[in-house]
Amino acid sequence: MPFCARCLGASIGHIGAFFLFLIGNLPSFITSIILVSALGVDWSLQQWFGIMSNNNRRLVTGILGGMGVGAIAWPTLTYGYYVIRAMI
């Protein structure tokens, strides 16, 4: 299944966040929000100002956004696991 450049970048970012999670060096929540906002900035430039994106920029913003989402998701999933495990 072929990936678009942004989806490929997001996948790379998620994998990178997982490895950072394993070594205990994830970015802070605020930094993660800033990383995810890179996707919004790229979309806004295209949608509102007519500045077309290219595959290189889509790849980079995908990596940043994927890293930000992963940095929020991994601790959240871990916390949820421990909460559910404590309830059992």
pLDDT at position 1 is 57
Count: domains in the chain? 1
Strands (E), the chain: none
- Confidence (pLDDT) at 2: 75
Kindly report the pTM of this predicted structure: 0.84
For the segment 28-84, what is each residue's pLDDT rounded down to a tens digit? Answer: 999 999 999 998 899 899 889 988 889 999 999 999 999 999 999 988 988 888 888
Quick one: pLDDT at residue 81? 87
Full residue range of the structural domain in which residue 58 is found? 5-87
Residue corresponding to tokens 């559910």: 84
Asked if 34 and 68 count as a contact pair (C-beta separation under 8 A), the reply is: yes
Sequence-distant (6+) residues with CB within 8 A of 8 are 59, 62
Which of 8, 25, 9 lies closest to 74, judged by CA? 25
